Amino acid sequence: MSDFIAEEAPPARRASSLTQTLIAATLIQIVATASVLALTAIAPTVAADLGIGAYWIGYQISLIYFSGMFSSAVAGTLVQRFGPIRVEQAALACFAIGFAGIASASIALIVVASLFIGVGYGLNNPASSEMLSRVTPYRRRNIVFSLKQSGVPLGGILASFAFPFLTRFFDWHVALLIGAIAPILMMGLLATTHAADPINRAPRRSLFGGLVEEQSAIWKHPKLRALSALGFAYSAMQLSVSAFAVVTLVHDAGWSLLSAGSVAAAMQLAGAVGRIFWGVVADKIGGGLKTLALLGLLGGTGYAALFFLTDLPVFAQVALFVAMGFVTIGWNGVLLAEVAHNAPEGRVGSTTGGVLVYTFIGVIVGPSTFGSVYALTGHYGSSFLAFSLFGFAGLLIAWRAHRAS
């Protein structure tokens, strides 16, 4: 980041270390994911109190990711203008506002609160990538970014256990207000540990101008184009298996809801371990794109195998879904590290935000398309078979990008 070094005087206080930054970024990622999934964990209780169907939670999640897509698109410009620490604090403030809005029990305020949570979620990764890129050595970038991204499944597990537990002792409104304490505490932690971190004083751009410039830069860069396509394909696969694992086991394989839910929890835990494992693999073999190609091969093969789910013994059904959690949830840290590596100097945050736009599109499009294939076939296995094409396409895209380098 030669431009950054040339323009900034040495900070008066010692800037944060890699350990401090990684811990802070991982905790923020846990809080961010728990904020997104808080309502899903207590949806039946909240829906009954509001007099609506629990299935409406699907629209709330889509609303979050929809607003997140737009905030991610402009996050890079905001990071360059205000610095990653302030942008992270703004994201955390959005989560706190989101918790308070949902706790109001007003449908209108829940909609607005969901938009705030989405804005915060879209700001988080570009800001944290900028923070980590400043202190992470090249040889450790995959494991560092993957450790941070392990906060996604960990946040999901936290939300799944914490909010149902709190509702045993408090009203659900109070449980969500208690949840708002976490992002507020993280804002204070950042103010304490990262106050000395400098800001890259880049020339100011309008949000729209920054968005156009970032997307233009991505489409001119072959590797960044490939990583954008991989983000779209792999996020569609990840969200589809996460959303439909339980219903597939119940509907197609005849499992009980409780047993199927246990498999889904194990799948998320495997995803947390997988994010760290694949980060280590990428650093060991010296290639994030090679690792992403391998993940495409394994994901495509596993999805194709799910077509035959009902023909497998119970232990094989469990093993297959857990393996898919390990693979299809484990890609994100490697991709973010590869984006940071290929971003222009001083532009990690903006490039990350631009690439993640396509990841958000995959999140929005994937589960709905998966459901549409089921509506046509009446068999979830057919949807998995169709979505295996995303994995095999990712294999080809990642391998071609690796060979080109």
Q: Domain boundary residue among 135, 158, 193?
A: 193
d(CA 401, CA 95): 37
Half-sphere exposure of 233 (CA within 13 A, CB side): 27
d(CA 238, CA 233): 9
pLDDT band at 10 (very low <50, low <70, confident <90, very high): very low
Q: Would 209 be classed as within a structural domain?
A: no
Mapping DSSP to helix (H, G, I), strand (E, B) and coil, where does residue 307 land? helix
pLDDT band at 215 (very low <50, low <70, confident <90, very high): low
Length of the chain: 405
Does the pLDDT of residue 185 top 90, yes or no?
yes
Tokens (6 digits) for 283: 């650093």
- pLDDT at residue 54 in the model: 57
Cβ(243)–Cβ(217) below 8 Å: no
- pLDDT at residue 19 in the model: 83
Report the 3 state secondary structure along 367-398.
Answer: HHHHHHHHHHHCCHHHHHHHHHHHHHHHHHHH
Element spanning 162, H or E:
helix 151-166
Tokens (6 digits) for 136: 């992470």
Residues 130, 28 share a domain:
yes
Token look-up 């960990």 returns 154
Q: Would 169 be classed as within a structural domain?
A: yes
d(CA 323, CA 305): 11
Q: 66 φ, ψ to 5°?
A: -65, -45
Does the pLDDT of residue 6 top 60, yes or no?
no
Higher-pLDDT residue of 230, 62: 230
Mapping DSSP to helix (H, G, I), strand (E, B) and coil, where does residue 60 land? helix
Q: Would 5 be classed as within a structural domain?
A: no
Cβ(217)–Cβ(351) below 8 Å: yes
Residues 224, 123 share a domain:
no
- The count of other CB atoms within 10 Å of the CB of residue 50 is 13
CATH (domain of 383): 1.20.1250.20
Residues 105, 232 share a domain:
no
Higher-pLDDT residue of 134, 25: 25
What percent of the chain has pLDDT above 70?
Answer: 88
Q: Would 92 be classed as within a structural domain?
A: yes
Residue pLDDT, tens place only, 265-279: 888 889 889 988 998
Higher-pLDDT residue of 261, 295: 295
Q: Would 278 be classed as within a structural domain?
A: yes
- The count of other CB atoms within 10 Å of the CB of residue 372 is 12
- Residue range 93-112: average pLDDT? 92
d(CA 16, CA 27): 15
Token look-up 């903006």 returns 350
- pLDDT at residue 201 in the model: 54
CA quadruple 245, 261, 150, 329: dihedral, nearest 10: -10
Computed over every residue of the chain, the mean pLDDT equals 82
Structurally, how many domains does the chain consist of?
A: 2
Task: Provide the whole-model pTM.
Answer: 0.75
The one-character DSSP state at 1 is -
Residues 272, 168 share a domain:
no
pLDDT band at 195 (very low <50, low <70, confident <90, very high): low
Q: Which domain holds residue 372?
A: 216-404
d(CA 132, CA 255): 43
Residues 26, 119 share a domain:
yes
Higher-pLDDT residue of 400, 403: 400
- pLDDT at residue 30 in the model: 93
Q: Would 44 be classed as within a structural domain?
A: yes
Residues 266, 174 share a domain:
no
Distance of CA 313 to the CA centre of its chain: 32
pLDDT band at 5 (very low <50, low <70, confident <90, very high): very low
Residue pLDDT, tens place only, 41-66: 777 778 788 887 655 666 777 788 88
- Residue range 148-155: average pLDDT? 84
Residues 359, 296 share a domain:
yes
On the 0-12 / 13-18 / 19+ scale of CB atoms within 10 A, 93 is middle
Does the pLDDT of residue 104 top 80, yes or no?
yes
What percent of the chain has pLDDT above 90?
Answer: 29
- Residue range 179-195: average pLDDT? 86
Residues 144, 113 share a domain:
yes
Q: Would 20 be classed as within a structural domain?
A: yes
Q: Would 223 be classed as within a structural domain?
A: yes
Alpha-carbon torsion (194, 141, 340, 296), positive or negative? negative
